[in-house]
Amino acid sequence: MVLRCNLCGCGAPQQPSVRVIFEFIALYLVGIYELIRQWFFSVPLSSDCNTVLQDVIRDQKLVIVLSGVTSGIGRELLHSLLRTSADVIALTHPSTTVKDPGCKQVMIDFESIESTTAVINKLLAELTSLPPRKAIYIHCAAVYNPLPLVSNGYSLTSVERTLLTNTFIPAAFIEGIASVVSGVVYIGSSSQKAASRFDIRHCLLQAAQSPYGAYPVSKLLSLLHIADWGVRTGKPCIVIHPGIVATRLYHTQKGLIGAILRGFVSQFAWNAETSATRIFKVLQRSRFFDMAMSGSRKNTVRITNEYYVYWDCVTMDVSAPPAQVPKSETSTLAMHIHHILMDSSLVCSKKPFFVETANLRAS
């Protein structure tokens, strides 16, 4: 069966490839390496989450918009933030609810343009009408290995659905609320190390042939978009590897691999609470909230004369840029991602998702 790429409107044929096997092996080898690195080399913390948060947020009047709060890391981030002075707006999937009276809940589906557009408009109106306060967006939502989707005359492969849900609609959402947020925190993944090397002359979808390759690619593209967003807006942004965490992402994997993962990961991975504590510690060490409150990126860690935004919860320090994208091509690829979001001429008319993505800009 030949699938055709509609992500960038190129219509390039997607042939089944032996790369699927290599993508599968690469992803799980990176996972094993990260578990070993995390188990033996993680920097110990001397304080708990509450102590870290008191120093990070203090008495600052913040509005935190947080996605992915249904379970796992996002759930723990929500519980911790509700113990601070910040006002929290939790973005929840329409199929779930979060029973936390201390926060406002807004339903959003990152696979639906209509849902995302409605939430952008709602947040723009609400945050603009509030007394002067700084708003921070923390993105913690992700999918892994979703089923192909056929609906209303169009179809999405598992690869396209992963890129759509993990990268392109969240990126369009961030672009849409850029005028009312003072900074962005994106919970990334070290799985990006398993992504194939990019060739900027080819369609982005060519970088992945299977769900095992699409997840790392989606995380890498998101990192590049966030870094580019920070340069374009002049606002602080940070992408954080939360460590290997025993969350629901691993529980949904079926078959023998799923059984091995559930047994292996649960023994050696961090729990969500530990990861949340380390995420807030990274935000403290990076001075992210200080920069967001002052509106300045001047304290951002600088590498080789370029600002970089990727931090690692294992080392509690800034991490090197991904090797899959040569430094000379980073800006070009980030610009390409931005054009896919903003320029309807680069979006295939056969895909309603991507056609309407061009309309997500804040007016």
**Domain CATH number, residue 274:** 3.40.50.720
Which residues are within 8 A (CB) of 167 and not within 5 positions of it... i.e. 6 or more apart? Answer: 218, 221, 222, 225, 337
Residue 293 domain-assigned (yes or no): yes
Closest listed residue to residue 183, CA positions, set 229, 222, 127, 120: 229
Q: Dmax over Cα atoms in the chain, in whole Å?
A: 58
Across the chain, which has 363 residues, the per-10-residue mean pLDDT values are 46 61 85 87 74 67 88 88 85 76 79 78 83 85 75 67 84 88 92 80 71 88 87 89 75 60 69 89 85 66 54 87 72 72 42 36 32
pLDDT at 239: 93
Residue 34 domain-assigned (yes or no): yes
Tell me if residue 72 falls in helix, strand or coil.
helix
pLDDT at 314: 92
> What does the alpha-carbon distance between residue 34 and residue 282 come to, in Å, rounded to a whole number?
18
> What does the alpha-carbon distance between residue 248 and residue 196 come to, in Å, rounded to a whole number?
25
Dihedral sign computed on CA atoms, order 335, 341, 344, 346: positive
Residue 363 domain-assigned (yes or no): no
Residue 362 domain-assigned (yes or no): no
**CB contact at 8 A, 250 and 262:** yes
Tell me if residue 23 falls in helix, strand or coil.
helix
- The total number of structural domains in the chain stands at 1
Which residues are within 8 A (CB) of 28 and not within 5 positions of it... i.e. 6 or more apart? Answer: 257
User: What's the predicted TM-score (pTM) here?
Assistant: 0.84
pLDDT at 297: 59
Residue 95 domain-assigned (yes or no): yes
- Supply the range of the domain harboring residue 299: 3-357
pLDDT at 240: 94
pLDDT at 264: 63
Residue 166 domain-assigned (yes or no): yes
Look up residue 62 and give its two tokens. 């913040």
Residue 308 domain-assigned (yes or no): yes
> What does the alpha-carbon distance between residue 257 and residue 238 come to, in Å, rounded to a whole number?
32
**CB contact at 8 A, 175 and 362:** yes
pLDDT at 184: 94
Residue 344 domain-assigned (yes or no): yes
Across the chain, the runs of DSSP E, i.e. the strands, are: 3-4, 13-14, 62-67, 87-92, 104-107, 134-139, 149-151, 154-156, 183-187, 237-241, 302-303, 306-307, 310-312, 317-318
> What does the alpha-carbon distance between residue 157 and residue 148 come to, in Å, rounded to a whole number?
5
